[in-house]
Structure 1
Amino acid sequence: MTVMFKSVLVAVDGSEIGHRALEEALAVARAMEASVHAVHVVQTATYPSLTLNQLEPPDIAQQALLDALDREADEILADVEQEAAAIGVPLTVHKRWGHPGAEIIALARELGADLTVVGSHGKGRLGRFFLGSTSSYAVDHAASTVMVVRGEPDAS
């Protein structure tokens, strides 16, 4: 029995492992003629003083941070679009704010993605302390298949 994927969602964060996850997702999508969606989640939990559900607008410092994070997300997604276009794979980008794992899984359900591709770890403010937390969340909560793309082994 051959497994066929019709819709692939890949999480991208601008890291090397995120790039490798994108390459794998594009290869699968191309081979199976599947639609491809890329999502970048701005991890707001990394910034405890930043809450997006406040009744009052953000102060100047918070707004500057929001703007910088928004620009970074746009740059990452623009790079993803260019890479997909260069190999002729149509791709739709999505930007979300919040907990990466929860937002990735929510979008996968919204899209009806039957394959979600995530890196084994990406970039984050707390470094290796949260190594793999997003991929673990995706594996534990996904309603469909999750592909975890591993990074290069540590030399240590």
Structure 2
Amino acid sequence: MFKSILVAVDGSEIGHRALEEALAVARVMDASVHAIHVVQTGTYPTLILSELEPPDIAQQALLDALDREANEFLADAEREAAAAGIRMTVYKRWGHPGAEITALAQELGADLTVVGSHGRGRLDRFFLGSVSSYVVDHATSTVMVVRG
């Protein structure tokens, strides 16, 4: 039986399906649900910033846009959970998505981690599920991979 579920949301159709599956399992099992969105900083060369030097205007604009997008994805997930009668806690992280997802799952003691099989961008499609593969390989609990 699952008591704590972590679902990764990324704004993609498959990410939305993962959210729907996580909410369905939560309803049946009366589990708590947590959603995470990770801004994948490693794929944006302009985001490799020195800690000693502030980002330039273009870099800051990109960071701000990614932050707003992350907030929108998480707000959408909260609304969908609320419509299903499920309270959700949301988390926004920056870094490697697989590493951040597995770290949060461990921090929360999640029994189940739900991820989509592919991400939302062309680069993610090229890697064919590198984040979900990472989560499957590194998670300490059960992982559900939702396919498209």
- In structure 2, the residue matched to 1:37 is 34
Query: Sequence identity, in percent?
Result: 83
SS at match of 2:53: coil
Correspondences of 1:86-125 after superposition (within 5 Å): 86-125=83-122
Higher helix proportion: 2
- In structure 1, the residue matched to 2:51 is 54
Distance 1:67 1:49 in 2: 13
CA-based RMSD of the aligned residues comes to 1.1
- In structure 1, the residue matched to 2:79 is 82
Segments of 4+ in structure 1 off by > 6 A?
none
Q: Does 1:139 pair with 2:136?
A: yes
SS at match of 1:109: helix
- In structure 1, the residue matched to 2:123 is 126
Which of the residues 1, 10, 13 maps onto 1:13?
10
- How far residue 55 of structure 1 moved from its aligned partner, in angstroms, is 1.7
Gaps of 5+ in 2: none
How has the CA–CA distance of structure 1 residues 86 and 149 changed in structure 2, closer, same or farther, with 3 Å as cutoff? same
Relative to structure 2, which stretch is displaced further, 45-54 or 140-149?
A: 45-54
Residues paired across the two proteins, number: 148
Give me the TM-score of the superposition, normalised by structure 1: 0.92
Give me the TM-score of the superposition, normalised by structure 2: 0.96
- In structure 2, the residue matched to 1:25 is 22
